[in-house]
Amino acid sequence: MDQLLNRSIKLNQTSPEILRAQIRASFHQTADLYESLFENLVSDEAYFVKPISLRHPLIFYFGHTNTFFINKLILSGLISKRVNAKFESMFAVGVDEMGWDDVNDQNYDWPKVHEVKVYRARVRQVVDALISELPLNLPIDWESPWWIILMGIEHERIHLETSSVLIRQHALKYVKPSADWSICPEQHAPAPINSLVNINARDVEIGKRDASYGWDNEYGVFEKHCSAFQAAMYLTSNAEFLGFVEAGGYTNDDYWAEEGLSWKKYANANHPTFWTGQASQWKLRVMAEEIAMPWSWPAEVNYHEAKAFCHWKTEQLGATVRMPTEAEWYSLYEEAGLSDEGVSNSEEANLYLDHFASSCPVNKFAHGELFDVVGNVWQWTETPIFPFDGFKVHPIYDDFTTPTFDGRHNLIKGGSWIGTGNEALKSARYAFRRHFFQHAGFRYIVTDTPIEDHSSHYEDDKQLSEYAEFHYGDTYYGVPNFPKALSELAINVMQGQPMRTALDLGCATGRATFELAKHFDHVTGIDFSARFIGLALKLAQQGVLRYTMATEGDLVSYQERSLADLGLEDVVKKVDFWQGDACNLKPSFTGYDLILAANLIDRLYSPRHFLNAIHNRLNIGGILMITSPYTWLEEHTPREEWIGGFKRDGENVTTLDGLKELLGQHFELVNQPLKVPFVIRETQHKFQHTLSEVTFWKRIL
């Protein structure tokens, strides 16, 4: 195998034909490598028995990477004919490979191994022909058809690694060591004693800049100041982890956080998963054999085990021990002086399959004062994956990342001995459930800096998403943004009057609150729904809102809106949001120059009570702005509480009549009522178009 081909291809080249040749070579080399990995299986039977219950048998993964090519090429219109429709349905999606869901236990009628080999060969011909014939225009970027070919190659490289983990989890009788996949011979040296290295404070800026293929989650910008901290010189070795095991680490529940504890009980775990044998004579399961425990190799554990170790170590050291965050891992990387493009010299790290088909001693590859900042095994971080500012979903693989933005998938960094292509880059961001096993271990750090919460999953509640789009999204049918239009009307009416504080009552997701704050000293948004307020608060705190939008049926698109894009980032300090009941407001909400009650009165349980008391909240001369489509519904307002929309003594009573009646004592109507339209998008094919009547009332008494 050509080791250099395991590097990511640089796409900023000047010769299209050299690039084309490199992509073809990388495509075939990745496929060769992938097929060679399966030579570690002893028999056809080994393809059909599941290594672990949560995953498909390996026959699925053998076919899956080629089916992925065909499905993505068809989706992007680069080819039109399937190679094998039956296989391409069976091998398409089995398990959320980034997730952890149970495999549906239906009986799959898997094809024979030799049939899949024939299929793989045919797909190779199709992709090879495409690589030969497709016009290549530089640069190759995210929109280029070549991006899809690179996506297929990099996807296979991910499965090269995850399939190697499955082979490692397979029963020993199904695997055999092979010459192409030889393990590190340095197995008997004692482990080095770990020590702490000072890491300087620095600002880190994250976000892919290098000129190679990247997954959607790597793009965008994230900036963070990292305080100084101390980091373990070495990854935690098997010997160091033994200290935790022998101290009763797996039996003392106090070391385990809640989620880790339930995993430990569920899995009945009492030692790292790849440790086998007895406590008196531990062995290590590597990919295709068991060996006497190499104490100097890194301990491979899931996040929960690493975290429990850190709690134990905190007790030992009398200082807070944890894993680095994503940003702190970048700080380690920069402290080590590694290049932005990743390791290019094959002597530098146990990465890219340059050296072994296994881990190696934790003191073999130095990076500055530290060892194994990249390579050997992946390193767990404390950071659940989150989208950087400017994140966009790649339309051809729209479920690669977004399902992992749930706060339950932690990032792993650094790559392992089998990390090739994109996986080995500084900018790579792979995230797995915290109880997941990879060729992954950890480096501990000592710091008092708390872990920052970036949780920002996509809001997928239908009503919240509709409102998020209504307030912050696109306009439809030429109808201007409603909350913004209301704010502009209010400001017009307020000309010449003091604009100190305003109250946006029934603010929903808060757009008018932000808009009014462009003119007022301070604006408070209040809504009855804690969910709406939660969304408005999140936007105020994070500056960005992400939500899914129904297109049709179960299909959704992903949206990101930021205050900066809407020109509202400077007003954040002038707004606050509270959950509250408009019919029963806290006494402190008073003294306003403007109260906006947008689409509120026909949603109150007692609009009469609200209208009778609202003057108390407004300064004399202040303006009450009421907008409503007067959609009276008994589910919100008992019929006897309606203030209009019914007959009294045989005569029609409109809501405007009711408003005049109830507000007349303290207010005078300013201007004629206006009808202001708004559109709420339900799906890409269904929209609600409504007229809201706007009235302004000046407090005179």
Residues that bind Fe ion (CB under 5 A): 97
Q: Which is nearer to Fe ion, 96 or 186 (CB)?
A: 96
Q: Which is nearer to Fe ion, 56 or 454 (CB)?
A: 56
Q: Which is nearer to Fe ion, 222 or 400 (CB)?
A: 400
Please say whether the dihedral angle defined by the alpha carbons of residues 134, 136, 137 and 138, taken in this order, is positive or negative: positive
The DSSP annotation for 571-613 comes to GGGGEEEEE--TTS--TTS--EEEEEEET-GGG-S-HHHHHHH
Which of 568, 231, 185 is CA-nearest to residue 371?
Answer: 231
Instruction: Report the 3 state secondary structure along 410-434.
Output: EEEECCCCCCCHHHHCCCCCEEEEC
Largest alpha-carbon pair distance within the chain?
99
d(CA 460, CA 555): 12
H or E segment to which residue 463 belongs = helix 462-472
d(CA 605, CA 412): 51
From the CB of 94, what's the least distance to Fe ion, in Å? 9
Q: Which amino acid would we find at residue 475?
A: T
Q: Which is nearer to Fe ion, 334 or 423 (CB)?
A: 423
* CB contact at 8 A, 677 and 690: yes
H or E segment to which residue 486 belongs = helix 482-494
Q: Which is nearer to Fe ion, 92 or 366 (CB)?
A: 92
Which of 338, 359, 331, 347 is CA-nearest to residue 416?
Answer: 359
From the CB of 365, what's the least distance to Fe ion, in Å? 30
From the CB of 437, what's the least distance to Fe ion, in Å? 18
The two three-digit tokens of residue 459, written as one number: 């809001």
From the CB of 219, what's the least distance to Fe ion, in Å? 20
From the CB of 100, what's the least distance to Fe ion, in Å? 14
**Omega before 51 cis (within 30°)?**
no
Residue nearest to Fe ion (CB): 97
Q: Which is nearer to Fe ion, 97 or 641 (CB)?
A: 97
From the CB of 611, what's the least distance to Fe ion, in Å? 59
Q: Which is nearer to Fe ion, 155 or 367 (CB)?
A: 155
For tokens 């039956």, name the residue.
Answer: 86
Q: Which is nearer to Fe ion, 161 or 300 (CB)?
A: 161
d(CA 249, CA 306): 11
Q: Which is nearer to Fe ion, 97 or 406 (CB)?
A: 97
Q: Which is nearer to Fe ion, 97 or 115 (CB)?
A: 97
Q: Which is nearer to Fe ion, 97 or 576 (CB)?
A: 97
* CB contact at 8 A, 445 and 229: yes
* CB contact at 8 A, 156 and 30: yes
From the CB of 141, what's the least distance to Fe ion, in Å? 23
d(CA 688, CA 269): 54
Q: Pseudo-torsion of CA 546, 550, 554, 555, nearest 10°? A: -80
**Those residues with Cβ within 8 angstroms of residue 116's Cβ, 6 or more apart along the chain or in another chain:** 59, 62, 63, 87
Which phi and psi angles does 543 have, rounded to 5°? 75, 0
From the CB of 95, what's the least distance to Fe ion, in Å? 9
Bridge pairing between strands 651-653 and 667-683: unpaired
From the CB of 110, what's the least distance to Fe ion, in Å? 17
d(CA 104, CA 550): 26
Q: Which is nearer to Fe ion, 97 or 341 (CB)?
A: 97
Give, as one character, the DSSP assignment of residue 404: G
From the CB of 65, what's the least distance to Fe ion, in Å? 7
Q: Which is nearer to Fe ion, 64 or 439 (CB)?
A: 64
From the CB of 472, what's the least distance to Fe ion, in Å? 33
From the CB of 326, what's the least distance to Fe ion, in Å? 23
